[in-house]
Structure 1
Amino acid sequence: MISRSVCFRNLLQSLRATSSSSKIGCYYGFSSQASSSLQQMCEPSIYRDDDYADLDWDNLGFGIMPTDYMYLMKCSNGEDFEQGQLNRYGNIELGPAAGVLNYGQAVYEGTKVHRKEDGRLLLFRPEQNAIRMKFGAERMSMPSPSIDQFVDAVKQTVLANKRWVPPPGKGSLYIRPLLMGSGQILGLGAAPEYTFLVYVSPVGNYFKEGFAPLNLYVEKEFDRASRGGTGGIKSITNYAPGLKALTKAKNRGFSDVLYLDSVNRKNIEEVSSCNIFIVKGNAISTPAVNGTILPGVTRRSIIEIALDHGYQVEERVIPIDELIDADEVFCTGTAVGVASVGSTTYEGKRIKFKTGAQTVSQELYSTLVGIKTGLIEDKMDWIVEIE
């Protein structure tokens, strides 16, 4: 149990700190009332730094696991977000006419925290997620947190749930910031109120196959995104329409679906949950971000790592014929990391690609994970340490 005097001292130190600081002190509230923050800090559920949640860390999947706290912040339409606070993890209340429920007015993000051997927590490029949320919010006619507010909320949520960060090498803490129109509105229009929340869950590998190469199915009947739509942002409306194709593919034994462009149906665009790359010799290519493809943070990071390793990288239109002729294919995303593709099936024909050790994807993956976990020096200035 943390003593009340220690809690109070930490609280005073924390209140003196600015919310945009790169490091967070030992407190678990963000309330304007010192008394409520003190009470929240000293609750029995606050754990020592060396405590872990009682989980089977060796068998983590990718699913929701309720943790201790989540972060909430609200604002009215036409105003700016000001101050949020940590709350117990649990259900939130929405009216039946909430904009998010009736008109799908929401965007979300995803990032991860890894634990080093010395216990330090490493957050990967959170400002990029904040920038992408602001871009998406503008497209969806919503106010959004500032970059500092976003990053600070993520840090606070991680610290409050520190015992849920897996031990080194056992997984990561997945972070889900969500911005939605929570106010009620009957006619089509922007919601009168907005809620920004952050929750977390410890996770292992995204795909049930673990690190086994993916087996993709090239989808020709359904589209993921169209020109002028919302394919280039993380709108919640992007994902449910893909469930039919994904379920169909998984029922046939495939890992995921690869979509083609909606105009010509001959150029590869994106997998339902991640970006895609092809490798031919020393050249690495990925579809250009053109409004229908999500500008993934992992995608951009892999491009920069590949360039640093001396590869030629192109962002361009990629006909399906080039995919079929590729040496290697791999996918990237926050949830999936870097996942090699063992085969794709197109028009009834299965095409296999190189996988395993000594592949380009393995080289890039090793560097990315090394940076994320602190095993490789972060020369890119991508890591934010939380303490």
Structure 2
Amino acid sequence: MDLNISVELTSAKKQKPEIDQLSFGKYFTDHMFIMDYDAGKGWHDPRIIPYQPISLDPAAKVFHYGQTVFEGMKAYKTAEGRILMFRPYKNLQRLNRSNARLSIPALDENVIMEALRKLVLVDEEWIPDEQGTSLYIRPFVIATQATLGVSPSEQYHFMIILSPVGSYYAEGINPVSIFVESEYVRAVTGGVGNAKTGGNYAAGLKAQQEATDKGYSQVLWLDGVHRKYIEEVGSMNVFFKVGGKVITPALNGSILDGVTRDSVIQLLRYWDIEVEERAISINELVEAYRNGTLEEAFGTGTAAVISPIGELNWQGDKLALNEGRTGPLSAKIYDFMTGIQRGTLEDPFGWVVKL
């Protein structure tokens, strides 16, 4: 399809929140992008319109069969007024992998990148520039065909909405506490655990709620077959520094291939820090804690970037890491990643894209 994206500007701009009011995903900008799909016609009618509710038939397949995928990205504004994005094509490639797993038609990544660029520039004034803030970008697809019956939809909406955000966690870069989940299962190999689809997150809500009630920020998921191998921390990939070496669970079909995860692995190797991608059991981790070789743990993801882990609760045992403080490696990674994302540090990898 061509790149002729129509633009309809709002006639009633919203009041922007103060910087100290920003949390995660609470406020939304003045405009959004939408594009339609019809079988036999393909993706068509790309347009930027005022942010508004959408109207769907009650029989739309997304409501009944969960055929939907999404992504999470960020735009940053530098002190010089440049607008930067971090590895956007990596996210769009993953979006299409998720589409394939959910039987959703592929999107032209160049078209979506142009739509994203135009939308961000239309709402440029919404990009906060304080340290720790950014413009969160949420592309997503929903199945809209109004018919019941378990089969892929023949109609879809692809949309992009934008939200100025502060820190994902109220703790910010300070360590969070994690509850190791041993009862519930999020995903198994062969399922949709490696796709960014709503069902994965719905499957985790019960465990997350119970962890929150116990005073924990997130859950650490174990594998769904053996219930012993570490997979993810809620909405993040996870890393452990053990005996000077960094270990992260290998991608096995049920773990999301995180863009930040991949970036951290590349960064550590650039720094000549040994990294292993392999299966790691909770028992191995507890043993490393007991013998004093578990030095740090942290989660990685677009929303939080780096989230140090200060405590793990495994079957009632509270494992305090690094005396509850942010470890030196976690801090170094965070400072470097956010530095290149915001344009204050040199990007040796060519990850940053200027809009």
TM over 0.5: yes
CA deviations on 1:55-94 (whole Å, 9 max, x unpaired) are 2113421132131000000111355324401011011111
Task: Tell me the residue number matched to 1:312.
Answer: 274
Rounded to whole Å, the distance in 1 between the matches of 2:103 and 2:87 is 25
Equivalent of 2:236 in 268, 274, 297: 274
SS across alignment from 2:275 = strand
Deviation at 1:45, TM superposition (A): 5.9
Task: Tell me the residue number matched to 1:30.
Answer: 5
**Larger Rg over CA atoms:** 1
Rounded to whole Å, the distance in 2 between the matches of 1:129 and 1:224 is 22
For 1:230-249, what aligned pairs fall within 5 Å after superposition?
230-249=192-211
Task: Tell me the residue number matched to 2:297.
Answer: 329
For 1:15-26, what aligned pairs fall within 5 Å after superposition?
19=3
Task: Tell me the residue number matched to 1:13.
Answer: none
For 1:1-387, what aligned pairs fall within 5 Å after superposition?
19=3, 30-31=5-6, 37=7, 40=8, 54-77=16-39, 79-324=41-286, 325=288, 326-354=294-322, 356=325, 359-386=328-355
**Cα distance change on mapping 1:170 and 1:334 into 2, 3 Å:** closer
Counterpart of 2:336 in structure 1: which amino acid?
T
Alpha-carbon contact 1:287-1:317 (below 8 Å) kept: yes
Deviation at 1:240, TM superposition (A): 1.0
Unaligned runs of 5+ in 2: 289-293
Deviation at 1:170, TM superposition (A): 4.9
CA deviations on 1:262-304 (whole Å, 9 max, x unpaired) are 1111111011111100001331111111110000111111111
For normalisation by structure 2, the TM-score amounts to 0.93
Alpha-carbon contact 2:230-2:281 (below 8 Å) kept: yes
Alpha-carbon contact 1:58-1:170 (below 8 Å) kept: no
Runs of 4+ in structure 1 deviating by more than 6 angstroms, as ranges, are none
RMSD: 1.8
Alpha-carbon contact 1:75-1:193 (below 8 Å) kept: yes
Counterpart of 2:164 in structure 1: which amino acid?
P
Rounded to whole Å, the distance in 1 between the matches of 2:180 and 2:79 is 41
Rounded to whole Å, the distance in 2 between the matches of 1:66 and 1:338 is 24
**Cα distance change on mapping 1:190 and 1:357 into 2, 3 Å:** closer
Alpha-carbon contact 1:260-1:269 (below 8 Å) kept: yes
Counterpart of 1:125 in structure 2: which amino acid?
R
Deviation at 1:239, TM superposition (A): 0.8
Counterpart of 1:147 in structure 2: which amino acid?
E
Rounded to whole Å, the distance in 2 between the matches of 1:373 and 1:149 is 25
SS across alignment from 1:262 = coil
Rounded to whole Å, the distance in 1 between the matches of 2:21 and 2:265 is 31
Unaligned runs of 5+ in 1: 1-17, 20-28, 32-36, 47-51
SS across alignment from 2:248 = strand
Counterpart of 1:332 in structure 2: which amino acid?
T
Deviates more, 1:243-252 or 1:162-171: 162-171
Deviation at 1:214, TM superposition (A): 0.9
- Percentage identity across aligned positions? 37
